């Protein structure tokens, strides 16, 4: 039933490779053979097959059982799931105008199919009959395993939360709302990507003085980008590897203001990429959907299936983190402002586009640490090898480059992943560099989830990690900033969650867990970025081979909590904004900027700037899966702060602790997350662990 369900291959021969068996290593997608014209027919055939499978469940004359109803639903739609997994992963990492058009064409089909399944009254009655039967028995008297119980509960709740119990008239309303939401969320993301790609600023050769003082890696990347686009000089864009270094190292306030204003107002302009009405409409439709299903707000609807459980819990949690850290955050900000006043190029009025520049200068002066000192020791290839080494030390797994496995872009590399006993675990695709066809940020996804076939055969996952790191140049390899190094570990943590998955049902394996739990594995792994014992094993200068100096490691460790309170409050502001958009009880039709300013008022630190608005480009909540769930980043930080303390106590490479943690990763969503955590850590986490970490009280 779930679109995340995918398979190694399907029977049948066809000129369309998506419809036939993948005769490739480990059933990996044959990217060299898949063409754009193959997707729509594959979606249509996948939907047709899925409908036939669902129809056979509905018309089954036998009494509904777990096997012929719940498990049959889980295993339905394999071709559709495989097609969707491949298409949507590529639509994020290697899209085109044609792919965007395909997405718009198939979205209504997928929504219609999903609604037809979830709103079918006969199917729901079969599911409900199984659910009522087992829930009328004691847990210890049930023949179901804990994993089967989780699937039963998830399936029943999925129907109930998708309108199955609604009247016919309300079911029709549900269909219309979800159809419109599907298209609007797609449009939201397309608008942000298009407007971001459309912006660039070129510094002509005559103005070379505006770049000559900047680090070589910044100048070289800008020059190569300009040449690639057929212009002379130096080109800067809103892609993070271009935008962030320029804001950090450039003294040109007028250019930085243009960049900041463009980046901070994506989707907030009249014209073809205007997201203002789209944003309001998405929020309003979500409210209507929640009301239709009997919830006061969309947040109430979402949080029913989160660890937090309720709006009050989330708002209290965010406030609990904000109260002790707001004043320290303000003090950190004031330090930067006061420092800027002492500089020869001090601005008359400190503005947001000044922050990165003076922040970097202050950090360099205070800790004698800047990105240029660290980057030579963070060559991308070495970081990759170090990540693999860390996984080997913790879990015994190994990675082997697999050039015979087809990839979807020349920048992408594929690795086979093996367990300590030599058995195959997964294929890992890594996609490191930005391009116009790739959305910004960093993320992990799957071409195939892990699951077990009915005959007991395991189907192992195909995991992909996506980044936007600076590309190597003719004279320079890709050298990561420390923040990028942390990001590399973060996404690799997600990847491990997927690669180590065990279980029967795809909808319960890997990262298919509550959103306020899914960030634990990623954020936990970031802790190794500042561990001297880890860095000393691999971090060497890319030119000299010199081991990273002990004093530099010490500076990294001392600087790890630099601006921690400020960063914490910034993240909390996004969480408060998200909760506000999804706690509305009346439709919204005003200015999104005014709405978000009210929502984020208690966390405001930087000066407000007219014309800026982050909500209209907040893809996490308006075009992703984090609506009413962005707080989960901080929730997971509480978990990881407490969890890492066990590694610190036992040893950061302790195999016993690694083995216990691996069990948590393997379980995915087959066990309630708090139960998993307590089994690993021995107690429930408390926010104090994170607050102490932020304030340096560890």
User: Can you tell me the distance from the alpha carbon of 87 to that of 38, in angstroms, rounded to the nearest whole number?
Assistant: 10
- Coil vs helix vs strand at 379: strand
What is the separation, in whole angstroms, between the first and last Cα of the chain?
46
The continuous run of DSSP H or E covering 425 comes out as strand 424-431
531 is known as an active-site residue: no
Q: 527: Cβ–Cβ under 8 A, 6 or more apart, which residues?
A: 640, 644, 647
Is residue 197 a contact partner of residue 436, using CB atoms and an 8 Å limit?
yes
Cα 77 to chain centroid distance, Å, stands at: 25
Considering 71, 78, 416, 491, which one is annotated as catalytic?
491
DSSP 625: S
The continuous run of DSSP H or E covering 348 comes out as none
Q: Which string of DSSP letters, residue by residue, matches 202-270?
A: EE-GGGGGGTTTS-HHHHHHHHHHHHHTT-SSEEEESSHHHHHHHHHH---HHHHHHHHHHHTTTT-SS
CB-CB neighbours of 551 under 10 Å = 9
Cα 517 to chain centroid distance, Å, stands at: 13
User: Can you tell me the distance from the alpha carbon of 569 to that of 560, in angstroms, rounded to the nearest whole number?
Assistant: 16
Instruction: Name the strands in the sheet holding 424-431, side by side, starting at the edge strand that comes first in the sequence.
Output: 398-401, 413-418, 424-431, 462-466, 443-448
In sequence order, what are the beta bridge partners of 606?
A: none
Is residue 587 a contact partner of residue 570, using CB atoms and an 8 Å limit?
no
C-alpha distance from residue 440 to each of 273, 414, 565, 625 (Å):
17, 21, 25, 16
The continuous run of DSSP H or E covering 334 comes out as helix 326-341
C-alpha distance from residue 460 to each of 7, 402, 509 (Å):
9, 16, 11
Place of tokens 């298409």: 87
Q: Which string of DSSP letters, residue by residue, matches 503-563?
A: -S-GGGSTT-S-HHHHTHHHHHHGGGGG-HHHHTTT-B-TTT-PBPPHHHHHHHHHHTTTT
Token code pair at residue 503:
């279980």
List active site positions: 491
């Amino acid at each position: 039933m779930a679109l995340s369900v995918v398979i190694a291959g399907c029977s049948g021969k066809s000129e369309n490779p998506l419809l036939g068996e993948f005769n490739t290593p480990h059933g990996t997608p044959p990217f060299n053979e898949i063409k754009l014209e193959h997707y729509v027919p594959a979606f249509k055939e996948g939907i047709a097959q899925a409908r036939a499978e669902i129809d056979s469940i509905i018309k089954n004359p036998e009494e509904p059982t777990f096997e012929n109803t719940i498990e049959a639903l889980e295993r339905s739609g394999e071709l559709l799931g495989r097609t969707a997994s491949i298409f949507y992963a590529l639509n994020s990492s290697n899209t085109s105008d044609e792919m965007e058009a395909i997405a718009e064409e198939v979205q209504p089909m997928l929504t219609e199919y999903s609604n037809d399944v979830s709103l079918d009254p006969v199917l729901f009655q079969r599911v409900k009959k199984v659910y009522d039967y087992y829930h009328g028995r004691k847990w210890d008297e049930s023949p179901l395993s804990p994993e089967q119980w989780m699937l039963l509960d998830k399936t029943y709740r999925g129907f109930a939360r998708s309108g199955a119990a609604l009247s016919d008239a309300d079911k029709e309303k549900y269909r219309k709302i979800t159809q419109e939401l599907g298209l609007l969320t797609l449009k939201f993301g397309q608008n942000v990507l298009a407007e971001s790609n459309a912006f660039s600023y070129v510094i002509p050769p005559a103005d070379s003085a505006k770049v000559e003082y900047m680090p070589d890696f910044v100048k070289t990347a800008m020059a190569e980008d300009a040449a690639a686009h057929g212009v002379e000089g130096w080109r800067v864009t809103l892609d993070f590897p271009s935008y962030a270094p320029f804001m950090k190292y450039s003294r040109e306030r007028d250019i930085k203001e243009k960049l900041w204003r463009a980046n901070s107002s994506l989707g907030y302009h009249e014209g073809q990429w205007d997201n203002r009405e789209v944003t309001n409409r998405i929020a309003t439709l979500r409210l209507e959907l929640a009301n239709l299903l009997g919830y006061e707000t969309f947040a109430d609807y979402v949080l029913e299936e989160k660890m937090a459980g309720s709006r009050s819990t989330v708002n209290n949690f965010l406030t609990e983190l904000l109260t002790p850290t707001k004043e320290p955050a303000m003090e950190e900000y004031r330090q930067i402002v006061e420092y800027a006043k002492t500089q020869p190029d001090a601005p008359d009025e400190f503005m947001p586009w000044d922050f990165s520049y003076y922040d970097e200068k202050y950090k360099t002066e205070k800790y004698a640490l800047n990105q240029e000192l660290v980057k030579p020791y963070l060559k991308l290839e070495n970081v990759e090898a170090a990540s693999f080494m860390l996984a080997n030390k913790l879990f015994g797994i190994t990675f082997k480059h697999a050039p015979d496995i087809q990839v979807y872009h020349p920048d992408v590399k594929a690795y086979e992943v093996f367990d300590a006993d030599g058995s195959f675990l997964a294929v890992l695709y890594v996609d490191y560099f930005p391009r116009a066809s790739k959305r910004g940020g960093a993320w992990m996804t799957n071409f195939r989830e892990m699951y077990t076939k009915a005959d007991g055969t395991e189907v192992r996952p195909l995991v992909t990690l996506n980044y936007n790191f600076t590309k190597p140049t003719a004279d320079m390899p890709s050298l990561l900033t420390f923040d990028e190094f942390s990001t590399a570990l973060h996404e690799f943590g997600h990847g491990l969650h997927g690669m180590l998955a065990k279980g029967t049902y795809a909808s319960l394996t890997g990262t298919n867990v509550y959103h306020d739990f899914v960030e634990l594995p990623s954020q936990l792994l970031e802790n190794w970025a500042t561990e001297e014992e880890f860095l000393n094993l691999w971090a060497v200068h890319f030119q000299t081979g010199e081991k990273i100096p002990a004093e530099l490691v010490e500076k990294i460790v001392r600087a790890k909590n630099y601006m921690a309170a400020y960063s914490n409050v910034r993240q909390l502001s996004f969480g408060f904004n998200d909760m506000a958009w999804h706690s509305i009880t009346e439709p919204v039709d005003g200015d999104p900027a005014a709405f978000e300013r009210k929502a984020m008022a208690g966390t405001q630190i930087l000066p407000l700037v007219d014309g800026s608005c982050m909500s209209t480009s907040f893809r996490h909540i308006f075009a992703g899966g984090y609506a009413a769930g962005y707080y989960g980043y901080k929730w997971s930080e509480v978990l990881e702060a407490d969890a890492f303390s066990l590694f610190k106590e036992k040893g950061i490479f302790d195999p016993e602790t690694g083995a216990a943690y691996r069990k948590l990763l393997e379980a995915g969503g087959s066990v309630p997350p708090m139960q998993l955590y307590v089994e690993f850590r021995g107690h429930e986490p408390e926010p104090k662990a994170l607050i102490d970490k932020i304030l340096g009280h560890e």
